[in-house]
Structure 1
Amino acid sequence: MKKKKIFQVVAASAIAASSFAAVAPNNADAASTNVSKTVDAAVKQMQKAQDTYWKTGTTKKVVATSTVQKEIDKAKKVYSDAKKQVTKSGGKNKAAYLAKLTKAYKYVKNAEGYVKTVKYAQSLNTQAKSLQNLIIQNDIKTEKLNHPKFVSELAKSDQKIKAGIYGATVEKVVINTYTNPAKTIEFAIKVYNYASYAHYWIQKGDLKTAANRLKVVDAQLPKVSQTSTLGKIVHAYVDKVKAEYQSAQNFDLTIMHTNDTHANLDNIARRITAIKQVRQASENSLLLDAGDVFSGTLYFNQFHGLADLEFMELAGYDAMTFGNHEFDETTSTLSNFVKQSKFPFVSANVDFSKDANLKDYFNDNITSSPKGGEIYNGIVKEIDGEKVGIFGLTTAETASISSPGKDVTFEDYIAQSKKMVESFEKQGVNKIVALTHIGYDDGGGDNDLTLAKEVEGIDIIVGGHSHTKLDTPVVDKTGEEPTVIVSANEYSKYLGTVDVEFDANGKIISDAGKLIEIDAKDADGNYVLKDDPEAAEILNTKYKPAVDEMKQQVVAKTDVELLGGNPAARTNETNLGDLIADGMLAKAKSINPETVMAVQNGGGVRTTLNPGNITLADVFTVLPFGNTLGIMKITGAELREGLEHSVATAPEPFGGFLQVSGMKFTYDSSLPAGQRVKSVDVKGTDGSYTPLKDDQSYYVATNIFTAKGGDGYDIFNKVFQDGRLSEAGFVDWEVFKEQLESLPNKTVTQQVEGRITDLAAK
């Protein structure tokens, strides 16, 4: 209210007061005097109701509505009582008294207006804080639902306050106390919402509209506090959206990847569900396989890769490279797999030009128009207008650990990779993926870590062969640009995903990845991923029945009880442990004839087999984990340390207790751990034994679990870390099956041979 208006109101009050004095009753009339006093007291109380908040004009502090309301209630009572007394008195000044009371009631009305308006202003402030809390709690949906009504009401607030409160100074105090803070909050929320609109249009791919929203944000953001809780959130959110806008101008790519699935198809329907879910969430995606689809389960034994192929085509794989196990049945089986596929294969360091089975499908070049059923050095895929180059590599160990044949040659992987990068870059391709089956940190002479360091220009390495589980990507920063390395473990346990962001020059500026567990279950024991209906129908009608039938096939028979399980295989040498270790040694010798010993962790020998027929199902029961074969180059001293670990808790059961082949050793369980092994002798080709030499190196077969430090074998893990482990990759149950089938008449007569002796037990 302007000063002039205030003056007029005060003047009017003065005139009214003088008017009340003019009609005061004659003092001679005692009764009239009592009525007059009652009326004056009532007027005074009614004026006090106004004065209670009127002091706000000088204190600049809002008076509590409850305080004012008390005075209003008192004023109303004395007003009512005074009216009754005036009416009852019936004096000649009755009308004047009533008029005086009625005129003074405006003080009550003013006070009531104050209470109502302050509550309204408080409500606005409360709404503002509520919206602020929704932003803080990230409940943007509810905030946006309630925001429009609040904005509309806030726009009218000043007018409502001015209309509801008597006194211009009081108005200002109320506005400053409640409305202005609400406006400050609303302004910050408005900026936040404009940023969220920008986020929405970025997600929609409309960067032009997003840019316009961000212009509004840029104009208003400087007015938003950087110290308040809400202000900090708004500034942080704007920074995030701006980064998102910048990111949207770059190229995002999601690569889904599998490796070393080894014909594990029982969960394929869930894997395909996972693939579909990732595709739905990722606009730009590739699906790649890094090899070793072949060998490992009865699905391969029965269908020779064609069951896997049908599901890979159903899933929509974009490319695959060859693993060493793709050559297990020479190239005749592989060629049948290749020619029937609807996706291309990439292989830059394998030359098939002389191989009778594969030369017709081999193209010694890079193509931008890849065809299914063809092999290329590399391919170029165009995704959302961006070119992505993909080339393949296969471990040179394949020549010795599998059966590719003499006409398939393996070339130096580093040299071929450099040629591929150069060729891609000449074609204007600056986003390059190496799809490799050389092992992440394999000791066989080639691996992904070395590749990343030695070859500049590879952006992503999707790896296999070593069955490495990389929960998140590993980034090598040796060169000018980073190289992201991923690997998805084994046996279709995971679908690997990696999201990368390229800048305009093809440099990866951000990466994030994870492994999706295909067989994950919820608290109720149900699979989190549901079966893809089409895949499940194909599996259950076309492939699974034949595999279930195969499991009942008899592999061999045993005339003796084959002792395994806990505690037998975890405390002493058993005939089943001997048999399994013998099979490992025989298989390892076929790969590396210099292999002289084998060790198998007793915890992996899961059960006892009774005399009678041994079915494939029995084989799987004994060795259910699908561990693969590895060959360590280890010194005698290191092996002795491993044996000390094996018997450290004896005679207590220990899953790491080693069943052995090609050696015998004695220990004394009564001695302190680490000092128990007394003798170790190595079996020669003539059957004789010679003492283990600490300073001599030996080739020793084991499973990859033990070789990489499982059961606490740190000394074996050191061998692995030193690059002295060759991963042959043959699955343990297949190796055991071969051993059973190699026995005379396929009949087991195995007895405990005294390979492990506890001297304290004698």
Structure 2
Amino acid sequence: MSDFKRRLTALLLGAATTGLMASAPVQAETVKLTILGVGDIYNFDGDGESGGFARLNAVAKAERANNPNTLYVFDGDMLSPSLLSGIDEGQNTIDLTNLVPFDIAVPGNHEFDFGPENFEQKMAVSNYPWAAINITQADGSPIQGLGGVMMKEIAGLKVALIPVAQDTTPEVANSGDLKFQPTVDTAIAAAKKAREDGADLVIGVVQTDMSNDRELIASHDFDVIMSGDDHLNAMFYDGITAYVETSIDARYLQPLDLAVEISEKDGKRKISWEPNFRWIDTATVTPDPESMELVNGFKKQLDDNLGQVIGTSETALDSRRNVVRSEESTMGDLIADALLAATKADVTLINGGGIRGDTTYDAGHQLTRKDVLTELPFGNKTVVTEIPGSQLLSALENGFSQVEKGAGRFPQIAGMDVVYDASAPAGSRVVSVTVGGAPLDINKVYKVATNDYMLGGGDGYTALGGGKVIVNAGNGNLMANDVITYIETQKTVAPKIDGRIKKQGE
């Protein structure tokens, strides 16, 4: 290179450097923000080896100790269903979470299993704020104690927390006349508004299914989405939005660390960040001692009250989630048969999603009250209604309408045999129905035993309504008590897969 070219290059580089220095931003500041989310906690002690509140509380304490800039958020479902919640309507979960309070808690559909009044009572004794921007009273007025968007100042960052509940809650829980606005549209509108109000980071704390999650991610109006409901372990980042789906019972936790850079250029504040996803298997976590004291007390309470043997099953029982939501199950048969015996109805129709044990029992297992309440923790009542065969057929069509999704509306039955075609369009899947050995008569009135939740249209069972209610929720027994009585009376039960539910071709 000639001297002239060297001098010209140096001159150009010098000019470029001078220009960069003239417009250089203010020295950037980096803030480490940790977000720990959890939801869908159905067993206060997890499975005994992992999960549960004592291990969760230990992790939350450690995260806050390691980083004062930690947000601890709850994305729905803990008041129910659980064995103990069937007794105390979820107070055990409040006692345990009050030890290490959340920064914000969003109600899931199971927060309403014991009705809106119970949820409001539990909010009142919580040491942390509950919030959801899309739930109001029937007249649109706010619910006392339920907050909205939360703006927090954290180490110089303005962070907006957008709490959103599932708009399908009235279909799957006992939410009374509370009004739920559309989940996705309401969430996105709130995120945009928070950004307009100067939020540096917009974090969605949502109880939404995966399809809604995808819409929220695709909007790119959120920096972070912490989601519950699907019982999955998921972490995702598309370069704009970071997403975490929390696991069931706090078995696995996924703290999200954000390295947030705050700078200023040309007089304008600039925020950039990078995510780091972590994974914690709580089987490796030592339970928090204070929390464990409470857990042990709750376990003793259950053992003292519910350990009584009520009978024996000569056959294996299966209540696994994927089974009761997709096929005939021996546990479903046992429960449906018990309700049929208790009510002397023509048929029993219950939703598989109401069977919650998610386990198997070996042949010869001695059944206890605790076993039954583990399977039926919601406190549902046995009810009886009279409806024509046409409505019973419509109810069955609803039951099979989402079998490919593993939906909780899948039916468990007694007193009838049903053949269905899963490949047919929803609403046209039932191939045949026999009741007491005779073909279903669409004009005949049948006495149907079900639960109060379904009679009220829960899980899409609107076809069960409008009939003559013989036994209502006010005078019906607890389903669990009917099952306990049935087992105690029989002393020995032996449910077998008898083909009462078949796929076409089986």
SS of 1:302's equivalent? helix
Report the number of matched residues. Answer: 381
Residues 393-408 of structure 1 aligned to structure 2 (within 5 Å): 393-406=164-177, 408=178
Q: Is contact 1:299-1:547 (8 Å) kept?
A: yes
Name the residue aligned to 1:281: 66
The Cα shift of 1:400 comes to 1.0
Name the residue aligned to 2:276: 512
Name the residue aligned to 2:237: 475
Encode CA deviations 1:245-295: one digit per residue, 9 max, x unaligned: x99723321101101012524642222221222222224110000010111
Encode CA deviations 1:411-444: one digit per residue, 9 max, x unaligned: 1223312331233123211311111111224xxx
Name the residue aligned to 1:315: 100
SS of 1:276's equivalent? helix
The Cα shift of 1:743 comes to 5.2
* Alignment CA distance shift 1:347-1:744 (3 Å): closer
Matched, 1:325 2:106: no
Matched, 1:551 2:322: no
The Cα shift of 1:503 comes to 4.0
Name the residue aligned to 1:497: 255
Q: Is contact 1:291-1:323 (8 Å) kept?
A: yes
SS of 1:491's equivalent? helix
Letter in 1 for 2:368: T
SS of 1:388's equivalent? strand
* Alignment CA distance shift 1:469-1:623 (3 Å): farther
* Alignment CA distance shift 1:508-1:545 (3 Å): farther
Q: Is contact 2:372-2:483 (8 Å) kept?
A: no
Encode CA deviations 1:291-310: one digit per residue, 9 max, x unaligned: 10111223322332222222
Name the residue aligned to 2:179: 409
Name the residue aligned to 2:286: 530
Q: Percent identity between the aligned chains?
A: 21
SS of 1:389's equivalent? strand
Aligned pair partner of 1:755 in 493, 499, 503: 499
Encode CA deviations 1:423-475: one digit per residue, 9 max, x unaligned: 3123211311111111224xxxxx2111222x3421111101111211xx212
SS of 2:81's equivalent? coil
Q: Is contact 1:583-1:738 (8 Å) kept?
A: no
Distance across 2 between alignment mates of 1:665 and 1:548: 41
Q: Is contact 2:33-2:69 (8 Å) kept?
A: yes
Q: Is contact 1:264-1:492 (8 Å) kept?
A: no
Residues 589-668 of structure 1 aligned to structure 2 (within 5 Å): 604-609=359-364, 614-619=367-372, 633=401, 663=417
SS of 2:249's equivalent? coil
Encode CA deviations 1:686-734: one digit per residue, 9 max, x unaligned: 86458xxxxxxxxxxxxxxxxxxxxxxxxxxxxxxxxxxx899xxxxxx
Encode CA deviations 1:371-401: one digit per residue, 9 max, x unaligned: xxx3222111111121110121111111111
Superposed CA RMSD: 4.6
Letter in 2 for 1:462: M
Distance across 2 between alignment mates of 1:491 and 1:297: 11
Q: Is contact 1:253-1:285 (8 Å) kept?
A: yes
Distance across 2 between alignment mates of 1:344 and 1:599: 29
Matched, 1:250 2:30: yes
Name the residue aligned to 1:391: 162
Residues 446-465 of structure 1 aligned to structure 2 (within 5 Å): 447-453=212-218, 455-465=219-229
Distance across 2 between alignment mates of 1:268 and 1:564: 31
Encode CA deviations 1:625-668: one digit per residue, 9 max, x unaligned: xxxxx966358xx89xx9xxxxxxxxxxxxxxxx98764679xx
Name the residue aligned to 2:90: 305
Q: Is contact 1:388-1:433 (8 Å) kept?
A: yes
Residues 721-760 of structure 1 aligned to structure 2 (within 5 Å): 741-742=481-482, 745-746=485-486, 747=489, 752=496, 754-755=498-499
- Look at both structures and tell me which one has the larger radius of gyration over its CA atoms: 1
Name the residue aligned to 2:426: none
Q: Is contact 1:564-1:574 (8 Å) kept?
A: no
Letter in 1 for 2:259: E
| Structure 1: 5+ residue stretches without partners | 1-245, 362-373, 442-446, 521-527, 586-592, 625-629, 643-658, 667-679, 691-725, 729-736
Name the residue aligned to 2:471: none
Matched, 1:486 2:238: no
Distance across 2 between alignment mates of 1:536 and 1:269: 5
Distance across 1 between alignment mates of 2:372 and 2:484: 18
Could you tell me the TM-score, scaled by structure 2's length? 0.63
Name the residue aligned to 2:315: 563
415-424 or 254-263, which moves further after superposition? 415-424
SS of 1:335's equivalent? helix
* Alignment CA distance shift 1:622-1:563 (3 Å): farther
SS of 1:400's equivalent? helix
Residues 128-527 of structure 1 aligned to structure 2 (within 5 Å): 249-265=29-45, 267-352=52-137, 354=139, 359=143, 361=144, 374-406=145-177, 408-441=178-211, 447-453=212-218, 455-470=219-234, 473-476=235-238, 482-504=240-262, 509-518=273-282, 520=283
The Cα shift of 1:756 comes to 7.2
Encode CA deviations 1:230-252: one digit per residue, 9 max, x unaligned: xxxxxxxxxxxxxxxx9972332
Q: Is contact 1:596-1:683 (8 Å) kept?
A: no
Q: Is contact 2:188-2:216 (8 Å) kept?
A: no
Distance across 2 between alignment mates of 1:325 and 1:574: 24
Q: Is contact 1:259-1:293 (8 Å) kept?
A: yes
| Structure 2: 5+ residue stretches without partners | 1-25, 47-51, 263-268, 341-347, 378-397, 407-411, 421-429, 441-458, 462-476
Letter in 2 for 1:578: D
* Alignment CA distance shift 1:743-1:288 (3 Å): closer
Letter in 1 for 2:37: H
Distance across 2 between alignment mates of 1:315 and 1:434: 21
* Alignment CA distance shift 1:631-1:287 (3 Å): farther
* Alignment CA distance shift 1:353-1:314 (3 Å): farther
SS of 1:250's equivalent? strand
Letter in 2 for 1:404: S
Q: Is contact 2:206-2:226 (8 Å) kept?
A: yes
Name the residue aligned to 1:540: 296
Comparing both chains, which one has the higher relative contact order based on Cα–Cα distances under 8 Å and sequence gaps of 6 or more?
2
* Alignment CA distance shift 1:512-1:290 (3 Å): same
Distance across 2 between alignment mates of 1:378 and 1:432: 10
Distance across 1 between alignment mates of 2:353 and 2:151: 45
